[in-house]
């Protein structure tokens, strides 16, 4: 599943990069938890939680039903 998650993150990256940020895949657990690190402008943005849940998590869940949630690690 890690390869599938990385592929979807690759589709999300251009919009994050347009705002000076990025996302890095840290881990995918066996129970469907995806752990990511927001970098660049996304790492310090006050809207990063919204980006994480409404953009990254929603897209991953839509495209990969096995994904249960996305968590940010620092």
Which homologous superfamily does the CATH classification assign to the domain defined by 2-72? Answer: Fe-S cluster assembly (FSCA) (3.30.300.130)
Measured CA to CA, the distance from residue 37 to residue 25 in angstroms comes to 7
pLDDT band at 68 (very low <50, low <70, confident <90, very high): very high
- Report CA torsion sign: 35, 4, 64, 18: positive
Evaluate if residue 72 carries a pLDDT over 90. yes
Query: Is 90 exceeded by the pLDDT of residue 69?
Result: yes
Reduced to 3 states (helix: H, G, I; strand: E, B; else coil), residue 6 is helix
First to last CA, the chain: 22
Band of the pLDDT at 66, cuts 50, 70, 90?
very high
Q: Percent helix, strand and coil across the chain, each rounded to 5?
A: 50, 25, 25
Q: What is the pLDDT of residues 9-49, one digit of tens each?
A: 999 999 999 999 999 999 999 999 999 999 999 888 888 99
Give the HSE-up count for residue 46: Cα atoms under 13 Å, Cβ half-sphere. 0
Mean pLDDT for 59-64 is 97
pTM equals 0.92
């Amino acid at each position: 599943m890690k390869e599938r998650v990385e592929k979807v993150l690759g589709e999300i990256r251009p919009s994050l990069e347009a705002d000076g940020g990025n996302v890095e895949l840290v881990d995918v657990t066996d129970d469907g938890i995806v752990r990511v690190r927001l970098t660049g402008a996304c790492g310090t943005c006050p809207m990063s939680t919204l980006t994480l849940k409404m953009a990254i998590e929603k897209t991953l869940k839509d495209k990969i039903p096995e994904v249960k949630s996305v968590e940010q690690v620092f």
